[in-house]
Amino acid sequence: MVRRLATLATCNLNQWSMDFEGNLGRIKESIRQARARGATYRVGPELEVPGYGCEDHFLELDTVTHSWEAVADLLSDPEDLTRGLLVDVGMPVIHRGVMYNCRVFLLDGRVLLIRPKLHLANDGNYRETRYFATWKHRGRVEPHRLPDVVARAVAAREARREAAAAAEEEEDAVAEGEEGGGKGKGKGGRRGGGVGGGGDEQGDVVPAEVPFGDAVLKLRDALLAAETCEELFTPQAPHIDLALAGVEVISNGSGSHHQLRKLDQRLDLIKGATAKAGGVYLYANQRGCDGGRLYFDGCACVAVNGALVAQGGQFGLAEVEVVTATVDLDEVVSYRCSISSLREQASAMVSPALVELDFRLCGGAAAAAAAAAAAAAAAADGPAAAAAARPLYPSRPITPKVLLPEEEIAYGPACWLWDYLRRCGASGFLIPLSGGADSSSVAAIVGAMCQLVVAAVAAGDPRVISDVRRVAGYAPDQLPSDARELAGRLLSCVYMGTVNSSRETRERARLLCEQVGAYHLSLSIDSVVEAVVGLFAAAVTGGRRPAFKAHGGSTAENLALQNIQARLRMVLAFLLAQLLPWARGVPHRGGSGWLLVLGSANVDECLRGYLTKYDCSSADINPIGSISKTDLRSFLQWAATNLGYPVLAEVEAAPPTAELEPLIEGQQPQLDEIDMGMTYAELSLYGRLRKVARAGPVAMYNACAAMWRGRLAPAAIATKVKDFFRFYSINRHKATVLTPSYHMESYSPDDNRYDHRQFLYNVRWPWQFKRIDELAARDAAAAEAVAAEAKAAT
């Protein structure tokens, strides 16, 4: 018996919002790779044509027009990339005056079906309902008129193919005499029975209209349908009805961002989708920084009947990564038939809207053509590729690869930084490096980036090679082979010490630069601080100088003297970023280049406001702005060994300090957790309760009281919660100017895109705090009553 075996392709693409040319190039490359592996279906990420993160650009009609232009280019591509390969791309489409987030199915130079998204993503960083509507006419298909640019492209391809066929016939006639030259010879013999596809050899008129709706593609040998990203996450996910309706292949083109420890959830959903109802599930995703704070973390994969059979990388520098699996569609039928309850539900299912298509996923003419293309590519590529083109066997289940959180912290931000650097025109990074945990983590992440770049160069990635040559200024015959050498070109760090700095932090900063390979400067900025304070005293107070608390000054003086050190560091950092390349004589595209200033405030200090507004926490971008101190500390431990920067273990072990107040007997008196009045562990808890668990002050008191019952008195818990809300609200204004950060943590307080709240509060919270006090009194009385009862019982 002939099994229904099909090779199907999905991919991770590093798209860049609004870069239509680059995006189309990457889409084409993924199609080429899918063809070379003999695939008959290729699915790409959500909105891959314009890029997922276009945001309000989606409101510009240009964005839709350019997307169609790109599709037209793809359909009429001289390589005929859609011949014999069902291509499924993501783009916005306007239908009857409404914009939808769509999948567009292409085959043989034609558009076959446009499938709009049914459930939009609108939580956290997602705002899809701002641009798109959901498709509400479930199970219905309507005609959609294609724009002229597409109709013309279809016609141009038809004309080209007809001309080629005529030329071929003429050649055959000349070579073989009049008996040769049968029509359609060697073309696979498909004939159009459905909409759009399959009629290309019959000289059909170009269809100006195509079906639009949540239809299933009824192929000659399989049923195939799409769901899009968020739909997988919904309680009534479309894949359930699709599977019950007998759809064997379900694809999901996604634009899904990285968040620490999130991959597990995504894989569970994908495996769960096919474990319950059987089927083949193909997941495609964007990968990289597409121009904003999010990092899309790829992980394209294929699951069959609850087991993962292929998985692409989560982080990586390759712009195009195609993942293929060979699947046995009969295994899907067999799996489903074996579950009685599934049979019962499936038999009650009403048929979905179908779009018929004369095309086979398995073994048919298209597959043969694809296999021939694969064999040809293999022959050209040598024995390894030839092996890949041998007869089909179903892909076997694999163990899902899920990275440690420490690895996610290293490689997600490292890849985000690489995308940002190569796309923004800078020649490297500048880090104001204090030798503390935060800025050291950022330096280590840049080191990890250099390691990834060197590995990609060694693997021969042409894109990385050309990017690194351009950004780091290598000569045409030169390439980086050592991550430390590359770091010496791309990373400059500056320690800006004062009399309040310790020898230890200065030394750790120096050592870290040595281990990473970064260019290092160590400065004393006392004279600059002195100049500014001196100016203030001369101009404002007639020579009376502010003093630190340790020297008898007030709180206001003490804070002002700290903040001026911190803010001057920011000014110096930007000056150095502008002029260091010039000072070092580094050639960069005819000039001397400039550096991106990296910030390193972590999520907890932003939440509490424990930072000086517009000091070095203000930078161009911040790779760790939404990572908690707790996670950063385990990252440092991991990186000391795994990235090969041993000094990070010492950095991690040192108590966090701002080093802004005078040393007392050579010791640093200012420790973060004491200064803040709360620990980083507590802050992390408050952060999660506030944002993830949506707790207001009273709900947070109740949650903490439940957690800390018996360990802390209710009044003490009430004080902690009130302290947190007081500091949070006093400092909320700082969140409005946070440096754009890689978004990694669900409790990020990033005011700009993610955590939308007011920034002027009544910091006494009179209503809420009174309620907390009442609850604390009630809890204390209850605890006393329990204790009294227990005492009476003994």
Ligand X SMILES: Nc1ncnc2c1ncn2[C@@H]1O[C@H](COP(=O)(O)OP(=O)(O)OP(=O)(O)O)[C@@H](O)[C@H]1O
Residue range at the interface with ligand DND (CB under 6 A); choices 128-136, 278-286, 515-523, 556-564: 556-564
Quick note: the x/- pattern for ligand X over 635-674, rule CB under 6 A, is: ---------------------x-x----------------
Q: How far is the CB of 473 from ligand X (least distance, A)?
A: 26
Residue 436 engages ligand X in binding (rule: CB under 6 A): yes
Q: Residue 351 catalytic?
A: no
Beta bridge partners of 116: 102
Residue 365 engages ligand DND in binding (rule: CB under 6 A): no
Residue 230 engages ligand GLN in binding (rule: CB under 6 A): yes
**Of residues 741-770, those binding ligand DND (CB under 6 A):** 760
Sheet holding 519-524, edge to edge: 519-524, 491-497, 428-432, 595-597
Amino acid 520 reads H
Residue 744 engages ligand GLN in binding (rule: CB under 6 A): no
Distance (Å, rounded) from C-alpha 332 to C-alpha 338? 10
Q: What is the DSSP string of 478-503?
A: -----HHHHHHHHEEEEEEE-TT--H
Q: What is the DSSP string of 61-78?
A: HHHHHHHHHHHHHHHT-T
Residue 497 engages ligand X in binding (rule: CB under 6 A): yes
Residue 255 engages ligand GLN in binding (rule: CB under 6 A): yes
Distance (Å, rounded) from C-alpha 477 to C-alpha 460? 14
Q: Which residues are CB-neighbours of 141 under 8 A, at least 6 positions away?
A: 211, 212, 213, 215, 353, 355
Residue range at the interface with ligand GLN (CB under 6 A); choices 185-193, 210-218, 253-261, 403-411: 253-261
Residue 199 engages ligand X in binding (rule: CB under 6 A): no
Residue range at the interface with ligand GLN (CB under 6 A); choices 130-138, 227-235, 241-249, 557-565: 227-235
* Annotated catalytic residue within 11, 17, 48, 117: 117
Amino acid 676 reads M
- Per DSSP, 656 falls in state P
Q: Residue 229 catalytic?
A: yes
Residue range at the interface with ligand DND (CB under 6 A); choices 208-216, 310-318, 555-563, 748-756: 555-563
432 binds, among ligand DND, ligand X, ligand GLN, none (CB under 5 to 8 A by kind): ligand X
CA-based nearest residue to 723, from 683, 781, 671, 771: 683
- Per DSSP, 213 falls in state E
Indicate the residue among 259 and 451 with the shorter CB distance to ligand GLN: 259
Residue found by looking up tokens 């090969």 in the block: 644
Indicate the residue among 174 and 579 with the shorter CB distance to ligand X: 579
Indicate the residue among 760 and 792 with the shorter CB distance to ligand DND: 760
Q: How far is the CB of 409 from ligand GLN (least distance, A)?
A: 19
**Of residues 588-617, those binding ligand X (CB under 6 A):** 600-601, 605, 611, 615-617
Coil, strand or helix at 477: coil
Distance (Å, rounded) from C-alpha 120 to C-alpha 123? 9
As a dihedral over the C-alpha atoms of residue 557, residue 558, residue 559, residue 563, rounded to 10 degrees, the angle is 100
Residue range at the interface with ligand GLN (CB under 6 A); choices 249-257, 291-299, 400-408, 641-649: 249-257
Q: Which helix (H) or strand (E) holds 284?
A: strand 280-288
Distance (Å, rounded) from C-alpha 286 to C-alpha 264? 17
Q: Residue 46 catalytic?
A: yes
Beta bridge partners of 10: 323
Neighbours of 469 (CB within 10 A): 16
CA-based nearest residue to 240, from 272, 217, 284: 272
Residue 256 engages ligand GLN in binding (rule: CB under 6 A): yes
Quick note: the x/- pattern for ligand DND over 598-617, rule CB under 6 A, is: -------x----xxxx----
* Annotated catalytic residue within 11, 54, 102, 229: 229
Active site positions, annotated: 46, 117, 229, 434
Which residues are near ligand GLN by CB under 6 A? Answer: 46, 121, 126, 229-230, 233, 254-257
Which residues are near ligand DND by CB under 6 A? Answer: 559, 562-563, 566, 605, 610-613, 658, 660, 672, 675, 733, 760
